[in-house]
Chains A and B, each alone.
Chain A
Amino acid sequence: MYEEIGRNRRASWLLIAGFIVFIVFLGYVFGELTYLGYGGMVIALIIALSMTFTSYFYGDRIVLSMSGARAAEKTEFPYLYNTVEGLSIAAGLPMPKLYVIDNAAPNAFATGRDPEHAAIAVTTGLLDKMDRLELEGVIAHEMSHVADYDIRVATLAAVLVGTVVLLSGWLRRSFFWGGARRSRGRQGLGPILVVIGLLVAVLAPIAAQMLRLALSRRREYLADAQGAMLTRYPPGLAGALRKLAAEQGTLAVNEATAHLYIVSPLKAGDVAERTSTLFSTHPAIEERIKRLDEMSLGEAPGPSPLGT
């Protein structure tokens, strides 16, 4: 678990560094193409730093409001509160803030920057369709994301990758009207730079998306295994995943946040989402269930890997 936290801390820093370098480079190219010159770079640096700051400290709120979640009151959802409280005790973590999304499609996600600033959101559909053991399985999966700092990487990735995609789009468009104005522009690096810039603007969003997806797939297996160890009852989560696989409902989510959820909230008919490919946010549910079933067979609930 310590290695996992260390890896996630490094991944967070790399994500931030890569983001800043990329945005500043975009700003440089943009400046060269227009009359801004180095001003483009300065503006880009300011944007990059403020975006990083925002996504680190307010990423959870951005993600929660994007998903249409509202704060859950204990009086309204005593069952959910009791379940989460129990599992936070088991994991030795502080109690996360709880949110609900009013949607019949069962799903859940966790966000935040560390266990002290974590939030778990579940849909009302999840609460309706799961029994207590299954709900515990789902919450334990989310608590494992919290314990391992997966939430930090995933939340940063959601906001920063979203920004990269957006800005690359702007830059691509700016080549059309900026390019003409610059055709008589300065000599030297100009033309080569334009080509590189164009390439980056086209390839970066694809690379960023793939990075976001790759980041999340491996984590899902790990959170499944850790969650199962936390409840000491793998069939709970396995049963929940079976129900989640059977439900075809989709959520109105921004694609940038899809990797946060316990199962992909995107259209179920989507081929990419049904099979494990480079472009899916989650491993195939069948494979996850299989691994949990294998855990239940070799049942020897030793000490939990959590709370090391």
Chain B
Amino acid sequence: MFTSWVVFIALVVVLVLFIAGFYNRLVALRNRVDNAWSQIDVQLKRRYDLIPNLVETVKGYAAHEKDVFEKVTEARSRAVAAGGVAEQAAAENQLTQTLRSLFAVVENYPELKANQNFLLLQEELSGTESKIAYARQFYNDSVLKYHTAIQSFPGNIFAGMFGFGERQYFEAEPESRGPVKVEF
């Protein structure tokens, strides 16, 4: 009688420890997804801050290219206002494209391409863009790992019990896989 009680209690303790361990693992994975998202956010903000400076610098040399500036500024404010993973991703892709047309315009102004300030901004921007790409990659990796944990057995049971929901992937535009490059 006594031994069977001991065995029973031991089993319960092991089970509780196992569930606790699993729960903690899921929390850690979910926190990493959230942290990875905030990493993207930091870099996106950095990019928003750089764009007005860039537009001002280019304006000094190519004031009449109004169209492009307006598009960039507009795309930027839309991206700043965007909320949610999918909407943000779409707005960012839009912004990347308008920036490309801005840099295409720069092609026609050799003095601008020699401007020290412009070169510095350009380096900062392309550096930030590749950081965004890497942050996105890390975010998607984290989401993948988190999903694997909450979708496979026995994680799916705990996930349902404790309310671990799925997260969205940050979809990149098809042609910009790998580090985003500002082309010249």
A-side interface residues toward B, CB under 8 Å? 78-79, 81-83, 85-87, 89-92, 132-133, 136, 231-233, 301, 303-304, 307-308
Contacts and interface: CB of A to CB of B under 8 A. Distances in A.
B179 A82 contact: no
Given A78-B127, A82-B131, A90-B137, A136 B179 contact: yes
A133 B126 CA distance: 12
Q: Top 8 A-B pairs ranked by shortest CB distance?
A: A82-B127, A90-B134, A86-B131, A86-B134, A89-B134, A86-B130, A89-B135, A303-B144
Given A86-B133, A90-B137, 10 more contacts: A78-B120, A78-B127, A82-B124, A82-B127, A86-B127, A89-B131, A92-B138, A136-B130, A136-B179, A303-B145
B127 A83 contact: yes
A89 B181 CA distance: 17
B138 A86 contact: no
B127 A79 contact: yes
Given A92-B36, A307-B142, A78 B123 contact: yes
A131 B75 CA distance: 30
A308 B177 CA distance: 21
B178 interface: yes
Nearest to B181: A132
15 contacts: A78-B120, A81-B127, A82-B124, A82-B130, A86-B127, A86-B131, A89-B135, A89-B138, A90-B138, A132-B181, A232-B178, A233-B178, A303-B141, A304-B137, A304-B141
A304 B134 CA distance: 11
Contact-size category for B: 20 to 34
Given A78-B127, A86-B127, A307 B141 contact: yes
Contacts of B138: 89-92, 307
A87 B124 contact: no
B128 interface: yes
Nearest to B177: A232
B88 interface: no
A304 B144 CA distance: 10
Contacts of A78: 120, 123-124, 127
Interface string B10-29: 00000000000000000000
Contacts of A308: 145
Given A89-B39, A303-B144, A82 B178 contact: no
A85 B131 contact: yes
A1 to B, nearest CB: 12
Contacts of B131: 82, 85-86, 89
Contacts of A233: 178-179
B177 A82 contact: no
B179 A133 contact: yes
Contacts of B126: 82, 132
Contacts of A136: 130, 179
Interface in B119-161: 120, 123-124, 126-128, 130-131, 133-135, 137-138, 141-142, 144-145
Contacts of B130: 82-83, 86, 132, 136
A74 to B, nearest CB: 11
Interface string B151-181: 0000000000000000000000000011101
B173 to A, nearest CB: 16
